[in-house]
Amino acid sequence: MTYVNTGSFVTQPGRRDDVVAILTRHSPQLAASGCRSYEVGVDDAQPDTVFVAEIWDSAEAHEQSLHLESTREAIAEAMPLLTGEMTQQHFTSVGSPLRD
């Protein structure tokens, strides 16, 4: 079932755009692993926060993606730029008003 993972990461002061650059680096492996949508974003009201919203074929697909080389490299590169303060919500989709 469609799995949605959303969250935010607080970065070290002034390092938001560096984290955005890491997270938006093109990764063909992700699509091949069942990632349907992966938006990385910002909110001017929170200048040191990076937001993500991901839609996956399943929770298992998301879980397995964490073991991809590109994902592990991105996490290792981003970690020093983060404060550790984060939020996360994940859920299994049970429908959409866009689908009949």
The binding site for a copy of itself (CB under 8 A) comprises: 2, 4, 6, 8, 20, 23-27, 30-31, 35, 37-43, 51, 53, 55, 70, 74, 87, 89-100
- State the minimum distance, in angstroms, from the CB of residue 11 to a copy of itself: 14
Minimal CA–CA distance to 55: which of 90, 23, 99, 22? 90
DSSP letter at 68 equals S
- State the minimum distance, in angstroms, from the CB of residue 80 to a copy of itself: 19
13: left (phi over 0), alpha (psi -120 to 50) or beta: beta
| Cβ closest to a copy of itself, residue 12 vs residue 92 | 92
- State the minimum distance, in angstroms, from the CB of residue 13 to a copy of itself: 19
| Cβ closest to a copy of itself, residue 12 vs residue 89 | 89
Minimal CA–CA distance to 47: which of 25, 17, 77? 17
Per-residue CA distances from 1 to 21, 92, 98 (Å): 30, 7, 16
- State the minimum distance, in angstroms, from the CB of residue 85 to a copy of itself: 14
